[in-house]
Amino acid sequence: MRDICIDYQSPCNKSEFFMKMTWRLGFDLPKIKNMRGQSKRNLAITDELLAMIPEINPNPISVFDSQGHCLYINSAGKEIAGSSESLFENLGLAGFDGLQQTSDVFWQGRTWSAQCYWSRDLWFCFFSEITALRKAYQQSRYLAGFAEQNPSPVIDLDESGHVVYANQAAEECFSGVRFLGLHHGAFQHLLTEQIKVGKQSVREINYRGTGYMVVANRLNHGWRIYATDVTETQQLKNRLSNARLELVQRLSQASEWRDNETGAHIRRMSAYCRIVAEVLKMGDHYSEQIELAASMHDIGKIAIPDSILHKPGKLTEEEFEIMKQHAEAGGQLLEGADDDLMKMARDIAYFHHERWDGTGYPRKLAAEQIPLSARIASVCDVFDALISERPYKKAWPVEEALRVIKEGSGSQFEPRIVDAFFEGLPRILQLKDEHKDELPSKAAA
């Protein structure tokens, strides 16, 4: 004999409890309203009971006897329901001996989830529309089929990184991935902090001579990985990178030909910048870029007259003011570039003569107003200029040049960069000895 639970604190489903209580009260509104004089607990219960009165509920509600006869259906149900007998059969209630039944029914192009409860020899059925949810489910099934037909690798992982699905392309491109998951050689660096905190992860990898763009998207219970062959794109990027490097080298060479400074100075100063960036832990990409960009730090000198640029003696005040214009000229020459490297080169050319205390040129920028790349280049350029011989001066001893750098900390240079420079000094001095000056014959003449 089926029975019902009427204790609010029992483990029965809460909606089932309210439904059974409403039936016991015979949908008697006066009786429910009288309960409002009771305790706060009963008052809260009656509010929810009133919300569940069938005629008020916007979702379909129906009541059947054990033979499938429809005894009651609310207004929302009448609008969408067809034959009550066929509905009873679709719900799977005929001959069912349990206390609760859940099923999906399809009415007039819409899908509904039915929660049916047995009470006092009657079935009480509550319906919720799940058309959108079912559509999403069907779409996911379609996409799963699409994944199998996808010519690019598609891999699904659970939360632990184990493969739960891999299409044919994945098996062919990444042999053994079904068993190794994220421990596979192609994906060993994919489990990044982005994945751990539930964000999308995008990474380029190279596996057995083929370049892939790997995108990991969050799923409900794991991750889906898409791997797209980007070998041709990587090759194009490499060609563009090589063309960019050639442009940098030619611009640096143009500066070298116009100035008394040697190619060795440019190479040393640029390499010093990379060492300092590495000490500052700026990352490989930044460190590589600053070494290239710094080689164009004096590109603006191509705008300075030869009479000033090649003068063997000390410049007059007027001549020095003209010489100072090379910073702005270099910045303007490299202005407007979209490329990150050329943007950094522009910052260095423009601002490597600015001072930490704001007394430099051309804009009198101070502290962190000066781009970081220019602050690094400033220290490295001054040091190498001091220890280098020129037609108009002798090379300073290294100890004297280091004293100038140390004394300039906090006034001419950023203290943090000075500290990084001295931390990298052993490597800097080794590099200095490997790239000694050779004065251009034009300058020597």
Looking at the structure, do residues 288 and 394 belong to the same domain, yes or no? yes
- What dihedral angle (degrees, nearest 10) is formed by the CA atoms of 8, 10, 14, 16? -100
91, 109, 129 - which closes a domain: 129
Looking at the structure, do residues 286 and 419 belong to the same domain, yes or no? yes
Bridge partners, residue 105, by sequence:
112
The DSSP 8-state label assigned to residue 230 in this structure reads -
Query: Tokens in use for 360?
Result: 């430099």
Position 82 confidence tier, pLDDT thresholds 50, 70, 90: low
pLDDT of residue 63: 83
The DSSP 8-state label assigned to residue 397 in this structure reads P
Q: CA–CA separation, 14 vs 209, rounded Å?
A: 60
pLDDT of residue 101: 73
120 Rama class: left (phi>0) / alpha (psi -120 to 50) / beta: left
Looking at the structure, do residues 39 and 114 belong to the same domain, yes or no? yes
The DSSP 8-state label assigned to residue 304 in this structure reads S
Q: CA–CA separation, 413 vs 436, rounded Å?
A: 25
* 173 pLDDT more than 90: no
pLDDT of residue 437: 60
Q: CA–CA separation, 130 vs 113, rounded Å?
A: 6
Looking at the structure, do residues 169 and 68 belong to the same domain, yes or no? no
| Residue range 95-116, pLDDT digits in tens | 666 777 777 777 667 777 777 8
Query: Tokens in use for 284?
Result: 């490989």
CATH number of residue 171's parent domain: 3.30.450.20
pTM of the prediction?
Answer: 0.51
Q: Which whole-number Å values give the CA distances from 46 to 14, 270, 357, in the listed order?
A: 13, 79, 73
Looking at the structure, do residues 204 and 331 belong to the same domain, yes or no? no
| Residue range 330-372, pLDDT digits in tens | 888 888 777 788 899 999 999 999 999 999 999 999 999 999 9
Q: CA–CA separation, 289 vs 295, rounded Å?
A: 10
106, 129, 152 - which closes a domain: 129
1: in domain: no
8: in domain: no
Bridge partners, residue 207, by sequence:
210
Looking at the structure, do residues 55 and 88 belong to the same domain, yes or no? yes
DSSP H or E run through 269: helix 263-279
For residues 64 and 71, the answer to whether their CB atoms sit within 8 Å is: yes
Tell me if residue 388 falls in helix, strand or coil. Answer: coil
| Residue 199 domain boundaries | 134-229
* 170 pLDDT more than 50: yes
Instruction: Please count the structural domains in the chain.
Output: 3
Looking at the structure, do residues 279 and 413 belong to the same domain, yes or no? yes
Single out the residue of 138, 107, 121 nearest to residue 63, CA to CA: 121
Looking at the structure, do residues 219 and 297 belong to the same domain, yes or no? no
387: in domain: yes
Reported for 245-252, long-range contacts at CB under 8 A and 24+ positions apart, including other chains, are 245/292, 248/292, 248/293, 248/295, 248/296, 248/341, 248/345, 249/295, 251/296, 251/299, 252/295, 252/296, 252/299
CATH number of residue 114's parent domain: 3.40.1840.10
